[in-house]
Amino acid sequence: MPIQIRKLDSSQDGFQQSLDTLLAFEAGTDAAIEASVANILADVKTRGDAAVLEYTNRFDRIPHGGAAEMAAFDISQAELQAALNGLPSAQREALQIAAQRIRAFHERQREELRGFTYTEPDGTVLGQKITPLDRVGIYVPGGKAAYPSSVLMNAIPAHVAGVAEIIMVVPTPDGVKNQMVLAAAAIAGVTRVITIGGAQAVGALAYGTQTIAAVDKIVGPGNAYVAAAKRRVFGIVGIDMIAGPSEILVLCDGTTDPDWVAMDLFSQAEHDELAQAILLCPDADYIAQVEESIAKLLPTMPRQATISTSLQDRGALIKVRSMEEACEIANAIAAEHLEISADNPQQWAERIRHAGAMFLGRFSSESLGDYCCGPNHVLPTSRTARFSSPLGVYDFQKRSSIIHVSEAGAQTLGRVAATLAYGEGLQAHARSAELRLKPQP
Amino acid sequence: MPIQIRKLDSSQDGFQQSLDTLLAFEAGTDAAIEASVANILADVKTRGDAAVLEYTNRFDRIPHGGAAEMAAFDISQAELQAALNGLPSAQREALQIAAQRIRAFHERQREELRGFTYTEPDGTVLGQKITPLDRVGIYVPGGKAAYPSSVLMNAIPAHVAGVAEIIMVVPTPDGVKNQMVLAAAAIAGVTRVITIGGAQAVGALAYGTQTIAAVDKIVGPGNAYVAAAKRRVFGIVGIDMIAGPSEILVLCDGTTDPDWVAMDLFSQAEHDELAQAILLCPDADYIAQVEESIAKLLPTMPRQATISTSLQDRGALIKVRSMEEACEIANAIAAEHLEISADNPQQWAERIRHAGAMFLGRFSSESLGDYCCGPNHVLPTSRTARFSSPLGVYDFQKRSSIIHVSEAGAQTLGRVAATLAYGEGLQAHARSAELRLKPQP
């Protein structure tokens, strides 16, 4: 049966409502998962290593009756290096090139944010100091969703920021280790790799145990248990965004090979049945050509079942009035990945206010950015690009304000502060400022 | 009965445990509040204005039988301006000076973050674009905790960031408006003021109603209902940190007038019985002098009941071995406000990695920073300065990655991406990169 993708037209009645329905996605919360995660976290907080050991042996089906002590879950730097050396040379070189490019881009981010101080005429100094976090945890999923590219994208920004300790956790169900993931850890600047996962790993990182030091922030994707655990420990440690399904929005002026656009839509749809791939184009004939390309190419894809479900359930081919209108709709969608596959793409990019990452021109396929262009592939999903940013070096840094008031400054500022403090009924605030005033002559 | 403040000594056994106990604070969650907030949010999401109107009339005891329509809750720009004009001139000028200084500091933040692009030798362009949020909501508490300084500190960074619409909500229990709060809104760049509050206001801002456009982020302090509502809508909109009790940590080398230090501790303790004020000093005699100052000055304070409870329950005077050790302990505490009241404070500031704001030198009382130095007074509490920052312009901006791969770039990057994509089992990603490769000659 041929694939049926939703087709919309922005000039038709009810378009806005159809678009809203298409975009609507709310991550459900599962009470059973929540309860289970709450128990595991409380147990890890109380019993530490003993709890982590038990849960890991059980949930990850560690062979030979399970590990007897936590040390069994540590992977040495030598083993990481051996994993890198053992890869086929094409894979090893690809990982190294990707890591080098990701590092180069993120070093630009670090250079941008240097802090500042300035001195006022009365000698008062004000400023902002930038410091890295001391210690962070990187969660890396195990099993079939183990992605070495995620290791690079999460660990390298922390390393570039100057984080002294980067602790990576990665579960190894049935004791099976992914060599590419270990190799990625070897080149990303990871300090320590521990083969634990799930809510127990999140708890260990957040609270610390006898053998694992508590971290300041936990980043990285995970399943529903990991996401629920991260939400619960937020505040005790920092966390990154809880990612929703991945999305691509392609704006095309009808001048790109339709096979390319079809494959770009597939590249998002193959991630997940809930992934969302949408095309906006002012040219109805071109949309028909993309449809033909989809029908032609889909049978050649190993993950065609996932792609079909994703495209049929959540995809859309949308005819718009103009590229200008496409840009407006793109701002409302605020997509994670936005491809502007068009001649002179810069003219349209200037109109875009909200997107996680913009891929300009027909050679900038999203997949290049996923692996090796340099910018991060951890991006805001589910319209959160309206208010949040790609993962970056700045996520592993924080600012402290610097206030050094001179004696002269305290005279003028003290009167202002005291007036406002009395106005708010905070007399100790006012007195604290007034004590610094010199007696009037 | 004289006040009893906990005294600790870092050289004594069990000090670390005593310190951990002192710092331990976990915000409780109240099931009744959670349930009530969930209902209110669901109702506002479904019924919009009608629900907001009902809750506001009821919870805020709006006089004369309540308002008949939402428009009654809007405050015009003319009324805001009239509030400013009606203030005593000292208050008006103090607000204006504070606003001007806060604006000047935050403009430095905006200048620091300008985005970047760079072009690689093969013509590939990479970069990072900075854009403001479109629309934000500022929550301002009503009643006795209505602080005009909070209006300035929350709204000005958004305005400096270039946010087009800044919607402030402030409940007016019993219909009573705080003129200083309205005056602050007049000079902070607020677009619209609506006299609603509680979970219903958070819901209106997050989901939008017939008369209130949905915002992209909600910032500002509030009671337990407001905090619970913000947590629940997080993800649909951005939120700032949920603040814990306020804290001050004073590092003193024993050279500051002890009355000044005592009053600085009071200025934090007067906020709240849960507020925390701690002194670290290597000089036992000086600590005794501060204790005497506390005993002498406390009876003069209008808020002495709150100050006493706070100091007795959560305060401490800690004798340390040296200023060097004081800095180490300060890094472990990661205080919201850190005063370094010492000669040559810069030498100690260089050792500090974690603090919301640092106040250097004996003239830099925290109260000056609370009102008018320029840096923000919304700061990370409860040790979250380990991983988070003061509220700033950057909280109202976000980044989008820019990736413009040249045809030549696609040839080299495509091979790297395809190798990694095949390694991860994502064939559509690989094919999407390969389609951009030119046929080999």
Last residue within a domain, chosen from B178, B211, B239: B239
Last residue within a domain, chosen from B190, B216, B239: B239
Question: Is B404 one of the annotated active-site residues of the chain?
Answer: no
Contact A401 B242 (CB under 8 A): no
Residues from chain A that touch B270, judged by Cβ atoms under 8 A, are: 426-429
Contact A387 B352 (CB under 8 A): no
Closest CA to A195 of A173, A180, A212: A173
Closest CA to B216 of A389, A265, A7, A344: A389
Rounded to a whole number of angstroms, the distance from the CA of A105 to the nearest CA of chain B is 8
A230 and A255, same domain (yes or no): no
Residues from chain A that touch B108, judged by Cβ atoms under 8 A, are: 116, 118, 128
pLDDT digits (tens, 9 = 90+) for A42-91: 999 999 999 999 999 999 999 988 999 999 999 999 999 999 999 999 99
Place of tokens 């000292």: B90
Residues from chain B that touch A406, judged by Cβ atoms under 8 A, are: 363
Is residue A366, in this structure, part of any structural domain at all? yes
Q: What is the mean pLDDT of residues A181-189?
A: 96
A382 and A416, same domain (yes or no): no
Surface-to-core class of residue A223, CB atoms within 10 Å of its CB (0-12 exposed, 13-18 middle, 19+ buried): middle
Residues from chain A that touch B405, judged by Cβ atoms under 8 A, are: 359, 361, 363-365, 368, 373
B84 vs B63: CA distance, rounded Å:
24
Last residue within a domain, chosen from A239, A273, A293: A239
B208 vs B225: CA distance, rounded Å:
19
Residues from chain A that touch B357, judged by Cβ atoms under 8 A, are: 400-403
Contact A389 B367 (CB under 8 A): no
Is residue A12, in this structure, part of any structural domain at all? no
Question: Is B337 one of the annotated active-site residues of the chain?
Answer: yes
| DSSP letters spanning A50-84 | HHHHHHHHHHTT-STT--SSGGGGEE-HHHHHHHH
According to the model, what pLDDT value does residue A314 have? Answer: 95
Surface-to-core class of residue A115, CB atoms within 10 Å of its CB (0-12 exposed, 13-18 middle, 19+ buried): middle
In residues, how long is chain A? Answer: 441
Q: In chain B, which residues have pLDDT < 50?
A: none
- Cβ pair A248, A278 in contact under 8 A: yes
CA terminus-to-terminus distance, chain B: 94
Pairing of strands B192-194, B217-219: unpaired
Is residue B125, in this structure, part of any structural domain at all? no
- Cβ pair B197, B226 in contact under 8 A: yes
Neighbours of A13 (CB within 10 A): 8
- Cβ pair B229, B199 in contact under 8 A: yes
Rg (CA), chain A: 26
B43 and B89, same domain (yes or no): yes
Choice among B337, B339, B366, B377 that is catalytic: B337
B151 and B45, same domain (yes or no): yes
Residues from chain B that touch A355, judged by Cβ atoms under 8 A, are: 400
Closest CA to A149 of B315, B318, B342, B421: B421
Number of folded domains that form chain A:
3
Contact B128 A108 (CB under 8 A): yes
Is residue A312, in this structure, part of any structural domain at all? yes
Nearest chain A residue (CA) to B259: A435
Residue B216 half-sphere exposure, CB side, CA atoms within 13 Å? 27
- Helix axis angle for A77-86 and A89-112, nearest 10°, is 120
Contact B114 A112 (CB under 8 A): yes
Residues from chain A that touch B410, judged by Cβ atoms under 8 A, are: 363-365, 368
B93 and B135, same domain (yes or no): yes
The residue type at B333: I
Contact A427 B302 (CB under 8 A): yes
Closest CA to B332 of B349, B352, B360: B352
According to the model, what pLDDT value does residue A2 have? Answer: 75
CATH value at residue A251: 3.40.50.1980
A42 and A90, same domain (yes or no): yes
Neighbours of A94 (CB within 10 A): 26
Closest CA to B103 of B398, B395, B393, B394: B393
- Cβ pair A370, A149 in contact under 8 A: yes
Residue B368, token pair as written in the block? 């000056």
pLDDT digits (tens, 9 = 90+) for B320-366: 999 999 999 999 999 999 999 999 999 999 999 999 999 999 999 99
According to the model, what pLDDT value does residue B311 have? Answer: 97
Contact B373 A235 (CB under 8 A): no
B275 and B315, same domain (yes or no): yes
According to the model, what pLDDT value does residue B50 have? Answer: 97
Helix (H, G, I), strand (E, B) or coil at A387: coil
Is residue B389, in this structure, part of any structural domain at all? no
- Cβ pair A151, A59 in contact under 8 A: no
To the question of whether residue B139 is assigned a binding role by annotation, the answer is yes
According to the model, what pLDDT value does residue B235 have? Answer: 87
A80 vs A74: CA distance, rounded Å:
11
A45 vs A208: CA distance, rounded Å:
8
A188 and A274, same domain (yes or no): no
According to the model, what pLDDT value does residue B190 have? Answer: 97
Rounded to a whole number of angstroms, the distance from the CA of A62 to the nearest CA of chain B is 24
Residue B80, token pair as written in the block? 């805001």
Rounded to a whole number of angstroms, the distance from the CA of A57 to the nearest CA of chain B is 26
A249 vs B156: CA distance, rounded Å:
34
According to the model, what pLDDT value does residue A1 have? Answer: 59
A115 and A248, same domain (yes or no): no
Above 90 in pLDDT, residue A199?
A: yes
Contact A417 B91 (CB under 8 A): no
Q: What is the ipTM of this complex?
A: 0.95
Strand order through the sheet with B397-404: A7-9, A316-319, A276-281, A247-252, A337-341, A357-360, B397-404, B125-132, B116-119
Domain interval for residue A276: 244-386
* Out of A263, A385, A386, closest to residue B435 by CB: A263
Place of tokens 């947590």: B231
Helices (H), B131-279: 148-161, 179-188, 198-207, 224-233, 258-269
Above 70 in pLDDT, residue A364?
A: yes
According to the model, what pLDDT value does residue B173 have? Answer: 93
Is residue B392, in this structure, part of any structural domain at all? no
Is residue A305, in this structure, part of any structural domain at all? yes
Residue B130, token pair as written in the block? 């900075």
Choice among A247, A270, A291, A336 that is catalytic: A336
According to the model, what pLDDT value does residue B1 have? Answer: 59
Contact B424 A148 (CB under 8 A): yes
A314 vs A309: CA distance, rounded Å:
8
How many interface pairs between A and B have CB atoms less than 8 angstroms apart? 370
Confidence label for A243 from pLDDT (cuts 50, 70 and 90): confident
- Cβ pair B256, B362 in contact under 8 A: yes
Summarize the annotated binding site of A as residue ranges: 139, 200, 223, 246, 268, 271, 337, 370, 424, 429
A339 vs A267: CA distance, rounded Å:
12
Torsion of CA B6, B11, B16, B22, to 10 degrees: 10
B63 and B174, same domain (yes or no): yes
A374 vs A317: CA distance, rounded Å:
30
B161 vs B133: CA distance, rounded Å:
8
According to the model, what pLDDT value does residue A53 have? Answer: 97
Neighbours of B113 (CB within 10 A): 18
Choice among B247, B336, B339, B366 that is catalytic: B336
Q: Which residue out of B84, B181, B429 would a mutagenesis test of the A interface target, given it has the greatest number of A Cβ atoms within 10 Å?
A: B429
The residue type at B232: R
B306 and B207, same domain (yes or no): no
Is residue A399, in this structure, part of any structural domain at all? no
A127 and A262, same domain (yes or no): no
pLDDT digits (tens, 9 = 90+) for A4-33: 999 999 999 999 999 999 998 876 778 899
Rounded to a whole number of angstroms, the distance from the CA of A65 to the nearest CA of chain B is 30
pLDDT digits (tens, 9 = 90+) for A310-362: 999 999 999 999 999 999 999 999 999 999 999 999 999 999 999 999 999 99
